[in-house]
Amino acid sequence: MKAAILYEPKKALIIEDIPIPEPKDGEVLVKLAATGVCHTDLHPVKGDMPVPLPIVLGHEGAGIVEKTGKAVTTLKPGDHVVLSVMPYCGKCRSCLSGRPYLCEFGWQNVFGGTMLDGSRRLRKPDGVELSHFFCQSSFAEYAVVDERTAVKIRDDAPLDKVCVMGCGASTGIGTVVNTAKVEAGASVAVFGCGGVGLCAIMASRLVGAGKIIAVDVIEGKLDLASEFGATHTINARKENPVEKVREITLGGADYSMEFIGNVDAMAQAYDSTRPGGKAIVVGAAPVGTKVSIDSMSLLSEKTLMGSAGGSLRPGIDIPRYVELYMEGKLNLDRLIQRKFPLDGINSAFEAMEKGEVARSVLIF
């Protein structure tokens, strides 16, 4: 199979032929139809996120089950699946308490380069091991994943659209409905109108939020945010976003969400939130960076928290979100603006960095 391999930070990914991996007990082999290109994949390329190299990136795949390992009970060959960004064991304290997105074993492995059992399944023809990313590595024609990672969906859902439910769309939607639990009429400020932020705007509209404020520095993204449901837009290059959000909401947003991965924007989101409100950080900033807030502001009972993949419960949430798309309530067709072949992965990253796309997808 062909796979895109990262050998060094700040270098282009290289397309090579490697052996198709075999599923072990509890795992499935999926033939990928499409995979989204997420900003989190770009962090290892830029050197902002240390991962063991060489590695096959990608964590937003969708495809068809081709083979199952022993003890697989929920899937069979021919099933259409979305591969979840959040691998989980189903046995640890977080999983048993209904929070698989905080699985202690999953988080140990998503950036650690291995599958949940600690092994590596990807190899070059000469036997050199390749690391996994999010226990998925969907920048390849096939992926071996844990049974829980492959979420069965309806067969008529277009895989080149719903693949983004594996991470970006589910993260944006879930931050609104799972993490924040935004109420009808509440005010929401969204910092960063890329693919994930735009999905948060769509979700805010769906749950009946009142003022939905989009903040970005690119006018084209703000125009798209208005199309997706934002009631107000702020260009942070031209206006102070904190002051403007407070002005629009008469004191601060009920919920502010940061989807950029920028510590200054995280602080701005927090400062834009009213007393008693919530600021939720979703964007992944470079490892080791710190967010600075005024400690006195905590006395107003404001909350600064994170969201792990939109507090995603893969088997429950992904099929629901796919249904919303199929019912015409989520505009993924407009969200996905470009499609590339696997060997166009470096061009996809370039388009992302230039802000030319809300979301792009690799097609196999």
Span 149-163, pLDDT tens digits: 999 999 999 999 999
154 and 211 belong to one structural domain = no
162 and 179 belong to one structural domain = no
251 and 299 belong to one structural domain = yes
320 and 298 belong to one structural domain = no
289 and 146 belong to one structural domain = no
Whole-model pTM: value is 0.95
146 and 13 belong to one structural domain = yes
92 and 145 belong to one structural domain = yes
* CATH number of the domain that residue 270 is part of: 3.40.50.720
Considering 306, 327, 346, which residue would you say is the last residue of a domain?
306
21 and 79 belong to one structural domain = yes
Number of domains, the chain: 2
Q: Which domain holds residue 15?
A: 2-167+311-363
Angle between helices 345-353 and 39-46 (to 10 degrees): 100
301 and 333 belong to one structural domain = no
252 and 158 belong to one structural domain = no
Per-residue model confidence as pLDDT tens for the chain (364 residues): 999 999 999 999 999 999 999 999 999 999 999 999 998 999 999 998 889 999 999 999 999 999 999 999 999 999 999 999 999 999 999 999 999 999 988 888 899 999 999 999 999 999 999 999 999 999 999 999 999 999 999 999 999 999 999 999 999 999 999 999 999 999 999 999 999 999 999 999 999 999 999 999 999 999 999 999 999 999 999 999 999 999 999 999 999 999 999 999 999 999 999 999 999 999 988 888 999 999 999 899 999 999 999 999 999 999 999 999 999 999 999 999 999 999 999 999 999 998 889 999 999 9
141 and 284 belong to one structural domain = no
Considering 264, 284, 306, which residue would you say is the last residue of a domain?
306
* CATH number of the domain that residue 80 is part of: 3.90.180.10
191 and 152 belong to one structural domain = no
How many Å apart are CA 79 and CA 140, to the nearest integer? Answer: 19
